[in-house]
Amino acid sequence: MTAQHCFALTPGEPAGIGPDLCLLLARQAQPAPLVAIASRELLAERAKQLGLNIELLTVGPQRWPDSPAAAGSLYVWDTPLATPAIPGKLTPANAAYVLQTLTRAGQGCLDGTFAGMITAPVHKGVINEAGIAFSGHTEFLAELTHTQQVVMMLATRGLRVALVTTHLPLKDVAAAITAERLERVTRILHADLQSKFGIAEPRILVCGLNPHAGEGGHLGREEIEIIEPTLQRLRSEGMNLIGPLPADTLFTPKYLEHADAVLAMYHDQGLPVLKFKGFGAALNVTLGLPIIRTSVDHGTALDLAGTGKVDIGSLQVALETAYQMAASRPE
């Protein structure tokens, strides 16, 4: 089995909808071998609760699949739970299990076993309750892969939005928009659009920070003093960067039609537009890692676990994107 064709799928929080998503997805054939790194017992029990007849095919380091699983079946690298998982009921006892699935997937990507990994949602709170410092998938994988800087990008069909800053109070955003940070994030975005998405000359639209992109300094000077000089410096290296543009102008068909990605200055500047456009079919991509990692853009939905009333749209797009990214990478 060659690494460029096999992918890892982590179901995340065992009490949430991640296991359900994996099983519902298994009703369909995939174009590549997909290995769920999960408790086989958990998946069997959840399939029974959902009334799904899914054949669980055990694989592992001594036997990786050489072809995609047939519809109605799922490859599983058995990773035992510490205690049985009850849908909707969190238990810190299984926190180490969640991190083990991520470690197996991430390490497998690093050593060439997997071409990429796709993650279902975890519950950060219960992992921290277990006494394990954990701030999220992104930070965990950055540490695992010894990556200094990563960039969050959300995407849906027809739109990609990367962020200069992520989970900051709005009052702290302006101070965080430094020339160093903006340059670093832009370089990562540009490089990954080339290497992981196969776009030779990415066209990136860049939002201003202030309304009307500062309106010539009357509504703020960050565009004049930080953003435009940084973009100009990067343009001199050959990057195709358009902006800074007012966000309310940038997110219109006239501009987006020929754009490969948008770079937003802060979380709620770019993501509401993306989530409106791609509701139920958006994904999260971690840029800057030496591996391919995509994820659903929603949470654990504890109240829906075990009910079958979940939409696999986001997971499907995350899978499609991971496959496309792997195919675009140079040999």
Give buried/exposed letters for 87-113 (b at 16+ CB in 10 A, else e).
bbebbbebbebbbbbbbbbbebbeeeb
- Residue 101, annotated ligand binder? no
- Residue 293, annotated ligand binder? yes
For helices 18-25 and 40-50, the axis angle rounded to 10 degrees is 80
- Residue 145, annotated ligand binder? no
Cα dihedral value 70, 72, 75, 80, nearest 10: -170
Q: Position 232: which residue type?
A: Q
SS3 of residue 43 by DSSP: helix
- Residue 5, annotated ligand binder? no
Q: Which residues contact 130 (CB under 8 A, 6 or more apart)?
A: 92, 93, 95, 96
DSSP classification of residue 257: T
Q: Residue 114 in contact with residue 6, Cβ under 8 Å?
A: yes
- Residue 171, annotated ligand binder? no
Would you tell me how many other CB atoms lie within 10 Å of the CB of residue 55?
11
| DSSP per position, 266-307 | SHHHHHHHHHHHTTTS-EEEEESSSS-EEEESS---GGGTTT
* Separation of first and last alpha carbons in the chain: 16
Dihedral angle sign, alpha carbons of residues 230, 236, 240, 243: positive
- Residue 48, annotated ligand binder? no
- Residue 146, annotated ligand binder? no
Whose structure tokens read 């071998």? 33
- Residue 277, annotated ligand binder? no
The encoded tokens of residue 210 equal: 């202030």
* Residues in the annotated binding site: 137-138, 167, 212, 267, 275, 284, 293
* Residues in the annotated binding site for substrate: 137-138, 275, 284, 293
* Residues in the annotated binding site for a divalent metal cation: 167, 212, 267
